Amino acid sequence: MTAADTQRLCDVVLDETIGRATPDVEHERAVAIFDLIEENSFEPAGHDSGPYKLMLSLVDSKLVFSITSRTGEPVATHILSLTPFRRLVKDYFMICESYYEAIRSSTPSQIEAIDMGRRGIHNEGSQTLMDRLEGKIRMDFDTARRLFTLVCVLHWRG
């Protein structure tokens, strides 16, 4: 097996106790999970025998990354404070709401301007996630972007 076969996620699950969200949010979740599983780079520190399964959840206002092997054997659990993400997630929610409203009623140039702002906040959140997991999980930026979308979905119940 090559590194591309082992240093990756094969499954991603979100904590189901959060319930269902709006159709727009559920669509974001489904697309992010599909894209993440299709193409990602994910390697827990000190462990090189993936691929891995990831469960994301919120416990006591903390973000929990529970990582197991493909067969379900525990690999690592990382618990992150949500404090560094609060402003980013709040800003991302606000701009996403503006974006969804704009795609229904605004001009293409207005939609593009809002989308540029949305991507900028999303990139900042993705970099923050990579920084917070440094030394714990190695991933590429595209993987961090998709994971940041899922972090937001855990908060966004519609």
Q: What is the pLDDT of residue 17?
A: 63
What residues does each domain of the chain span?
3-155
Q: What is the pLDDT of residue 15?
A: 82
Asked whether the predicted pLDDT for residue 65 surpasses 90, the reply is yes
Q: What is the pLDDT of residue 158?
A: 42
Q: What HEC string does the chain produce?
A: CCHHHHCCEEEEEECHHHCCCCHHHHHHHHHHHHHHHHCCCEEECCCCCCCEEEEEEEECCEEEEEEEECCCCEEEEEEEECHHHHHHHHHHHHHHHHHHHHHHHCCHHHHHHHHHHHHHHHHHHHHHHHHHCCCCEEECHHHHHHHHHHHHHHHCCC
